[in-house]
Amino acid sequence: MGKEATRVKAGSAAAKALEERIAFVQEYIKLWRQFFETFADGFEGRKITKKDEEEFARILNSLAHHHYRFAYTVGNEMSGVDGILKILCEATSLSHLKGLSEAQLSKIQIDWHEIFINMNKALGRLMARRPLTPEEEAMAKRGAPPPGQTPEAPPEAPPENPA
């Protein structure tokens, strides 16, 4: 993995801002999941009502409306953030999605899932910047690594050279 995340100081303005970022990202991920649930099971034998379309449009519009803030909030923590808009543009309505071939709908679902994984990885990276809890600090003082870190492995001995 890359470099270790820098933790913010407990009680600082940076800690408060980080918690606000985390809360926003969690809400966006929740909305992203709701978006997927509207078409995850396919459309065979499903009647799409006006209420279904309105709810789908509400979710779609909210995701689009908050996309810039989401992209700004996750910053470099997430790859593929532009893929969100690509999927939103492909999924204009439930009726449109219902008219897609099985292969086209499957592609959207796969792309959605890849982005969902990237969103959660970004959330994890943000959460790793939280200050240590008192219990974690006590563990660190005893020499135990903080959560999310593995203990340093002893260096491997060089292989013997039988000459």
What confidence score (pLDDT) does residue 15 get?
A: 93
Q: Report the percent of the chain where pLDDT is more than 90.
A: 67
1 pLDDT higher than 50: no
Those residues with Cβ within 8 angstroms of residue 32's Cβ, 6 or more apart along the chain or in another chain = 63, 84, 112, 115, 116, 119
Rounded Cα–Cα distance for residues 99 and 92 (Å)? 11
Task: Select from 117, 115, 132 the least CA-distant residue to 5.
Answer: 132
Q: Please write the tens of the pLDDT for every residue from 53-81.
A: 999 999 999 999 999 999 999 999 999 99
Cα distances from 97 to residues 58, 109, 127, 155, in angstroms, run 16, 11, 35, 55
With bands split at pLDDT 50, 70 and 90, how would you rate the model's confidence at 162?
low
% of the chain exceeding 70 in pLDDT: 85
Mean pLDDT of 22-48: 93
In the prediction, which pLDDT does 106 show? 94
Q: What is the pLDDT of residue 155?
A: 56
The secondary element (H helix, E strand) that includes residue 96 is helix 94-98
Compute CA 159 distance to the chain's CA centroid, rounded to the nearest angstrom.
42
The whole-angstrom separation of Cα 99 and Cα 95 is: 6
Tell me, what's the pLDDT at 58?
Answer: 97
pLDDT beyond 80 at 143? no
Q: Mean pLDDT in the chain? A: 88
